[in-house]
Structure 1
Amino acid sequence: MSIPDEQIFPHATGNAVSTVEAHKDPQELVFYAGWFCPFVQRTWITLEEKGIPYQYKEVNPYKKEKHFLDINPKGLVPAVEYHGKALYESLVLCEFLDDAYPDHKPNILPSDAYTKAYARIWIDFIGKSFVPAFFRLLQAQEADKQDAARTEIYEALHKFVAQVKGPYFLGEEFSLIDVAIVPFITRDYILAEHRAYNRQAVSADWKRYADYVEQRESVVKTKSEKDKYEQIYGRYLKDEAQSEAAKAIRAGRAIP
């Protein structure tokens, strides 16, 4: 049985509660978020990494306020309001935060032009190869489709981890490449419990990387409790989710 919309947990839990509480006061940057969303967590991790002052505002995905829709007509989180101007799209926001707050270190993209371009190639790979496969495996109902999606994930992760210089993708420095993939790593227990996914089955190197990166302080601080995520992803496991990502996967389109 599906959980009714009004029974979906309305706010962050676990470690993320303290992070939300620390960012209630008005700031020049307002962060519109959904505690459960992996795309939101990308931007949230970046805010925490850089120590940028921000005001956290939870957006009810089922009752979006007019002001939020005026800011982002797509109605998707994450979004920010900065000096009264609106921006959205998770990775765009991460890069914006680097540019708008250059004195807040560390930067999440390398300063070297070549390495920055190289990073963007692998960020693009995550978005086009790994993330769609992640959702396809979540939503697949038939065993053969689950097997195909799982194989697709493993193949993508083999290519990814072959380039990891360790302990993070670029070596010692945590970067936007790690930010782009780690929210899905923190949620891969859903695939492990329901879709026969296994980090070790990808490779020992992938398990080592995944185990390490999910322990980053900014990642831990923006995580909610597993059972609350389970409520959200239960809908994907039944292919009943109505998020834009779920609808795109169902229709064979790119995730918006």
Structure 2
Amino acid sequence: MEPVVGSKLTFLSAWFCPFAQRTWIVLNEKLVDFQLAEVALKDPKTGLWHQLENKPDWFVRLNPLGKVPVLAHKDASGTVRSVYESLICNEYLEECHPRLAMLPSDPVARAHARIIIDRFNSKFVPVFYRFLIRQEAAGQEECAGQLRSELAWLDSQVHERGPYFAGQEFSLVDAAIIPWFTRMPVLQHYRSFHLPDKLTRLAGWAQRAARRQSVLDSETVPPGAEDYSAALLQHYSRYADASANSTSARDFK
């Protein structure tokens, strides 16, 4: 159903999407007053994703890519304006709601935060999906090795005075990364992969970040599911058997 977009910020999301969860976490951290609109990206009968040409016109007008998250509002002139792509949405929120800052004030530290986000997004995220999609043992082992390498790098980036990547304060870095760590049980379930024991700093970060109220409040249980973890396992089963037809499945194959 098309949401009514007014002057109050509308957040278009899908419960299973880690990209949308990034932005939901930032909205929660910044105490933004928003209207949540859950977008039906999948066919409820087949479980397959709607392709762009089958997505509602109103949704494609807000995001021509047909993906979540989307932030939309009506400006003073009555024009509906929208922002999309998770990391861009988060930077937009940082600019619009600077009082509860989620980037360091120091320019070098701020740049370093963006470096961590960029590497995670360009290296870890694609391999996460590829690891699930690939069916052959050699391909899975290659992905496992790449993930271990990226996890080791992330472990080295957690601030030594912690508990978060930027130090004492939860930042855009943490918000960009934690959705994939709440999905690590998916890799353990389908690919017998877990966080290496030696990465104690990263493990401690993941436990602390996952317990933040902003993260917990972004985890919604869909109708008919027992709990969030069980729902995620069911959702990612199509990636694990290579039958997923989502944008991520196509982009990261």
Alignment partner of 1:32: what SS?
Answer: strand
Matched residue type, 1:60: A
Q: How many residues align?
A: 225
Distance in structure 2 (CA, Å) of the matches to 1:147 and 1:202: 19
Alignment partner of 2:36: what SS?
Answer: strand
Stretch deviating more after TM superposition (198-207 or 128-137): 198-207
Residue 227 of structure 1 and its aligned partner are, at CA, apart by 1.5
CA contact (8 A) 1:95 1:109 kept: no
Distance in structure 1 (CA, Å) of the matches to 2:92 and 2:198: 33
Distance in structure 2 (CA, Å) of the matches to 1:200 and 1:247: 28
Alignment partner of 2:114: what SS?
Answer: helix
Alignment partner of 1:193: what SS?
Answer: helix
Distance in structure 2 (CA, Å) of the matches to 1:89 and 1:196: 31
Q: Which residue of 2 aligns with 1:76?
A: 67
Alignment partner of 2:55: what SS?
Answer: coil
Stretch deviating more after TM superposition (193-202 or 40-49): 193-202
Residue 55 of structure 1 and its aligned partner are, at CA, apart by 0.5
Stretch deviating more after TM superposition (31-40 or 225-234): 225-234
CA contact (8 A) 1:78 1:89 kept: yes
Q: Is residue 156 of structure 2 the alignment partner of residue 176 of structure 1?
A: no
Matched residue type, 1:210: A
Correspondence list, 1:71-220, <5 A: 71-83=62-74, 84-103=80-99, 105=100, 107-165=101-159, 166-201=162-197, 203-220=199-216
Distance in structure 2 (CA, Å) of the matches to 1:110 and 1:167: 15
Distance in structure 2 (CA, Å) of the matches to 1:227 and 1:207: 22
Alignment partner of 1:199: what SS?
Answer: coil
Residue 25 of structure 1 and its aligned partner are, at CA, apart by 10
Alignment partner of 1:81: what SS?
Answer: strand
5+ residue gaps, structure 1: 1-23, 251-256
Q: Which residue of 2 aligns with 1:253?
A: none
Task: Give the percent of matched residue pairs that are identical in Structure 1 and Structure 2.
Answer: 37
Residue 202 of structure 1 and its aligned partner are, at CA, apart by 5.7
Call closer, same or farther: CA 1:27–1:192 in 2, change over 3 Å.
farther
Kindly report the root-mean-square deviation, in angstroms, between the aligned alpha carbons of the 2 structures: 1.7
CA contact (8 A) 1:154 1:202 kept: no
Distance in structure 1 (CA, Å) of the matches to 2:167 and 2:195: 20
Alignment partner of 1:57: what SS?
Answer: strand
CA contact (8 A) 1:168 1:209 kept: yes
Q: Is residue 38 of structure 2 the alignment partner of residue 58 of structure 1?
A: yes
TM-score, length-normalised on structure 1?
0.83
CA contact (8 A) 1:139 1:238 kept: yes
CA contact (8 A) 1:40 1:90 kept: yes
5+ residue gaps, structure 2: 42-49, 75-79, 221-227
Distance in structure 2 (CA, Å) of the matches to 1:113 and 1:208: 27
TM-score, length-normalised on structure 2?
0.84
